[in-house]
Structure 1
Amino acid sequence: MGGEVWDVVVVGAGPAGAAAAIAARRAGAERVLLLDRYDFPRDKACGDGIAAHALDVLAELGVTGAVDGYAPLPALRLVGPGGGTVARALPRPAYTVPRRVFDARLVRAAVEAGAELRRHTVRRVEVGAGRVVLDGELAARAVVGADGAGSVLRRTLGHQVNPDRHLALAIRGYAPTPPDRPGLAAPPAPPVPPDPPEQLIVTSAARWPAYAWVFPIGDGRANVGYGEVLRGEPLTRAHLLDRMAALLPGVDPGTVTDLRAHHLPLSTHRPAPGRGRVLLAGDALSLINPFTGEGIFYALRSGALAGTAAAGAPADAARRYAAMLRARLGTHLRHSSAAAWLARRRWVVDAAVGAAGRDERVYRTVVELGLGDGRLDARTLAAIAAGVPGLRRATSPGSTPS
C-alpha cells in the first residue's frame, strides 16, 4: 500500500506544520509533503497575537517577513479579576497579524524551502514497521501530526481530546479599534494618550478562569474575543458574546464581524509527543499556554523540533523528539502548569497584577511565562505572596520565618 513514498509527510499546514516542513528540509529530508484540508490563504480562529519569541523561531528557520506591514505593539495592559491594572512596555514588541495572512506567509516559506503543498484531508492512518501510510495512497518514513485540536494523528496514537478543566473555548471576531481602552470604564481611569498602541487583556472574576482581549492590528481594526476554561457544562455562542460585551464595554457588539469559536487544548494535559514514526506538534500535542492561551510560539517551536527529528532518524523519531522537547520546553511547561494551578485562584491573579505594577522585573517574568518559554522565580513568587491577603505579614520586612 502507498504508491508515493515521502521522507516526511506533515499533516496540517498551520504554523506547527509549516515549521515542521521547513525544519525537515533544513535537516536533509529530500521529499517533504505538506498536507492541509484547506487552500491557502484561509481564516483560522485565533487571537492573532505574534510574540517576539515566535519570530525568534522563524529566524532560526530562515523565515523573514512574517509580520511585514503590521505595526508593532510595544505595550500590554492587563486588568485583574478585581479590577487592578498594570500597563507596561513589553520586553520586546508583539504584533497582531490575522492568521489568514500569517499562515499563508509561512506556507509560502515552506514551499520555497522545497516542501510540496497539497490539499488533502487525511482520514485513515496505518502505521507499519517501516513506514506510515495515509489513506492507502501516501507513504512516509515519518509523519508529523500538526492537524490541530481534533487531530486524526492524535487519535491514531490512542489519545482522546483534552478533558474539561484542561480545555478552553473562545470566540474571536474583528471590530473597529476602540477609541478608548475598553474594560476600564469602571472605576474611571485617568486620561491615557492613545499612543503607543497596546494589547489589552481583561480577566473576569465571573466564570474564572476567563478573559477578554483587544489586540489592535494597525489598520483601524482589532482582534477581539473572549474565552474561558470548560468545566463540564456546554457554552453557547450567546454566552461567549455576552461575556465579551460585559468585559469590553468599549467594543460595540454590532460592529464585530467574522465571529468564529475554537477550542484550546491546554498544555496541562498533554499526550505522549509521539510513537515510533508518528509525532505530534502544536495544538495536536495540546501545546496551548494554560496561563494565557498563547499557542503560536509553542506551535512553531514544537513543529521545528518535530521536523528535525522526523528527518534525522525516522525509525527513532519519537524518542528523539521527546528528548528534544524536554530539553527545550520541559522546565518551562512545568512552570507554566504550576502558574496555571496557582492562577485558578482569582486573588493570586490580582496579587500578580499588583506585583507586576510595582516591580518591572516581576512584570517581565509574568510576560515571559505567558508568551514565551519563561519560568517562575523566587523573586516573583515572593512579590505575589506579599500581595495576597493573609500572607502580607509573613512576607513583610522583619517578619520571622516559620
Structure 2
Amino acid sequence: MTGTTDWDLVVVGAGPAGSCAALAALTTGLTTAPHLRVLLLDRADFPRDKSCGDGIAPHVLDALARVGAADVVDGWTPLSHLELARGEVSVSGPMTREVHVVPRTVFDARLVDHAVAAGAVLQRRRVRSVEVRADRVVLDGELSARVVVGADGAHSVLRPTLLGQEQRLRAIAIRGYAPTAEAWRGRQVIRYGPRPQPAYAWAFDRGDGWSNVGYGELLPGPERGAGPSRALLLDQLEALLPGSVPDGKDWKGHHLPLSGWNWRQPDGPMLLVGDAAALVNPMTGEGIYYAVATGIAAGRAAARCLAEGEPGRAGAVHRRAVRGLLGRHLKHTWAAARLARVPAVVDAGIRAAGRDRHAFDSLVELGLGDGRIGPRLAVGLARELIRPSGPDHEESHVDPVRP
C-alpha cells in the first residue's frame, strides 16, 4: 500500500488536527464503508518540536476520548491553578477542571502513533501544489485522493486554493523552556504587558521541573509596518516573568492566524482544519482544542461521504459540523478579543473574575474551550468599568467552590 498514489483520503499535515482527522476517519465505525486507504503526510519526521504553550485543556481530552486517544497525556502532571495579572491587578484560583502541559514533541508524536495504529500510512513529504479536479484532488501532480484534508498549519499551501490570498489578523509568539520558578509551581501564569493588547507572557508548569514560557502579541496590519523582533519579544517576556529568559532554552517563534467573526469552508472534497482553517482563539492564541475538534469533524465527514459515494459533499458536511460545534463560540471570542484591546477592559475582566467565581470560570472557558460571554460575565465587566478606582495594588483569589 505504501507505493500507492491513489487514496481515499489524504491528510496534509500530521499535527494534532491532521492526526485526529486520519484517526477519526478510520474509527468512525461505519459498517457500510470498506476499510479506507488513508495517507497522512508531513514535511517533518516525528517526534518534532512546535512553538506552542503546550497547554492541553480538558475539552481536548473529551474530544480525544471519542476516538480512543485520551491517553496522550499519560505520565504528565495535571494543573488546576490559574493566575491572571496585568500590572498590579491580579486574580488567582483553581479552575473547575484540570489542564495538562505536555510538550508538543510528546503530544503530537503520540497522536501520530494512534493514527498509524488505526491504519493510516505516514509519509514524509512537503506538498507544494494542489489541483481540484472533477472527481478527485491531485497533490504535486502525482498523489490523488477522493477527499483531502488540509492540516498544514499557519502557512498552509492548501488554504489559498480554497479561499484565495486572504488578509487575516495574525499574532506572533515566542516559546522556550525554563526551570520552574517557585512563583509558577503547580500553576498556569498569564501576565499581560503594556504593549497593544492582547499581549501577554505565560509560564505553564510541566510538572517535571521545567515550565513552558513565552510571550505573544497581536501583529500590526500590513499598513503599519513590520512586527516585533525576536529581541523585543524576549525583552517583554523577561520584563513580565523575570528570570525566564537567561535560563531558557529551545526558543521557537510562530505566527498564529487568528479566528474571525465568520468561519469559511467551501463545498467540495477539500476540508480545512486547525491553523490551516485559521482557527486560533484571538483572545488567547489557544489552538489545540480547535485543531483536535475540527480534525475529528473532518475525518468523520470524509468517512461518511466516502461511504455514501459522495466525496464532493464532504465540505458541506464538515462546515455544518464545525459551525454547530464552534460557531457561537467564535463570535464570542472575536468580541472578547476586540474588547481586550482596551487595557481598562482587561483590568475589569480580571477584577470581575476575582469577585465572582462564575466570571472566573467563564473567562477560562472563553480562553480554553467553547465558552461564551454570559450575562454574569458581561454584568461583572460593566460594573468593574464604572467602579471607582481602588488601591494601587489589587489582588484577589476566587473561592474553589462555586456559589
Q: How high is the TM-score relative to the length of structure 2?
A: 0.89
In the TM superposition, what whole-angstrom CA distance separates every residue of 1:139-164 from its partner, at most 9, and x where no partner exists? 1000000000000110222433543x
Residue 64 of structure 1: aligned partner: 70
The residue number in structure 2 matching 1:54 is: 60
How far apart, in 1, do the equivalents of 2:156 and 2:181 lie? 36
Q: How does 1:3-402 map to 2 (within 5 A)?
A: 4-27=5-28, 28=30, 30-80=36-86, 82-160=87-165, 162-163=167-168, 166-181=169-184, 197-231=186-220, 232=224, 233-251=226-244, 253-268=245-260, 272-313=264-305, 314-389=311-386
- CA offsets, 1:62-89, max 9 Å, x none? 1132111110111110113x42111111
**Residue 6 of structure 1 aligns to a residue in which SS?**
strand
SS at match of 1:180: helix
C-alpha displacement of 1:273: 2.1
What amino acid does structure 2 have at the position aligned with 1:117?
L
Alpha carbons 2:352, 2:381 under 8 Å: kept:
yes
**Secondary structure in 1 matching 2:7:** strand
Q: Which runs of 4+ in 1 moved over 3 A?
A: 389-392
**Per the alignment, in what secondary structure is the counterpart of residue 348 of structure 1?**
helix
Distance 1:240 1:9 in 2: 37
1:222 counterpart letter in structure 2: S
Residue 235 of structure 1 aligns with an amino acid whose one-letter code is P
RMSD across aligned positions (CA): 1.7
Cα distance change of structure 1 residues 44 and 162 upon mapping to structure 2, 3 Å threshold: farther
8 A Cα contact 2:196 2:341, kept in partner: no
CA distance in 1, matches of 2:21, 2:267: 17
In the alignment, the residues of structure 2 paired with residue 56 and residue 268 of structure 1 have an alpha-carbon distance, to the nearest angstrom, of: 25
Distance 1:44 1:379 in 2: 37
Give the count of matched residue pairs: 373
Mark the CA change 1:180 to 1:136 in structure 2 (over 3 Å): closer, same or farther: same
Q: Cα gap change, 1:335/1:322 in structure 2, threshold over 3 Å: closer, same or farther?
A: same
CA distance in 1, matches of 2:88, 2:134: 57
Per-residue CA distance 1:265-311 (angstroms, 9 max, x = gap): 11027662244111100000111001111000000001111111122
Distance 1:244 1:219 in 2: 21
- Residues in 2 aligned to 1:391 and 1:330: alpha-carbon distance in whole angstroms: 36
CA distance in 2: counterparts of 1:331 and 1:207, whole angstroms? 26
Residues of 1 paired with 2:262 and 2:148: CA distance? 19
Tell me, in whole angstroms, the C-alpha distance in 1 between the residues paired with 2:253 and 2:271: 27
3-state SS in 2 of match to 1:388: helix
Give the 3 Å change call, closer, same or farther, for CA 374–297 of structure 1 in structure 2: same
Q: Any gaps of 5 or more consecutive residues in structure 2?
A: 306-310, 390-403
Amino acid at match of 2:236: R
* Contact 2:173–2:253 under 8 Å retained in 1: yes
Residue 211 of structure 1 contacts residue 228 of structure 1 at CA under 8 Å; is this kept in 2? Answer: yes
CA distance in 1, matches of 2:362, 2:193: 22
Q: 2:388 and 2:36 mapped to 1: Cα distance?
A: 59
Question: What is the rounded CA distance, in whole Å, between the counterparts of 1:269 and 1:243 in structure 2?
Answer: 29
Distance (Å, rounded) in 2 between the aligned partners of 1:106 and 1:26? 14
Deviation at 1:391, TM superposition (A): 9.2
Q: 1:321 to 1:56 in 2, by over 3 A?
A: same
Equivalent position SS for 2:233: helix
User: CA shift at 1:33, angstroms?
Assistant: 0.8
What SS does the aligned partner of 1:318 have?
Answer: helix
* Residues 355, 383 of structure 1: 8 Å contact kept: yes
Q: Secondary structure at the match of 1:288?
A: coil
Unaligned runs of 5+ in 1: 182-193, 393-402
Structure 1 residue aligned with 2:401: none
Q: Shift of residue 107 of structure 1?
A: 0.2
Task: Give the Cα separation in 2 of the matches to 1:162 and 1:262.
Answer: 17
Alpha-carbon separation, structure 1, partners of 2:336 and 2:227: 26
8 A Cα contact 1:52 1:92, kept in partner: yes
- Decide whether the 8 Å contact of 2:261 with 2:331 is kept in 1: no
For residues 59 and 16 of structure 1, do their structure 2 counterparts lie closer, same or farther at Cα, with a shift above 3 Å needed? same
Change (3 A) 1:284 1:162: farther
Opposite residue 176 of structure 2, the aligned amino acid is: G
| Partner-residue secondary structure (3-state), 2:158 | helix
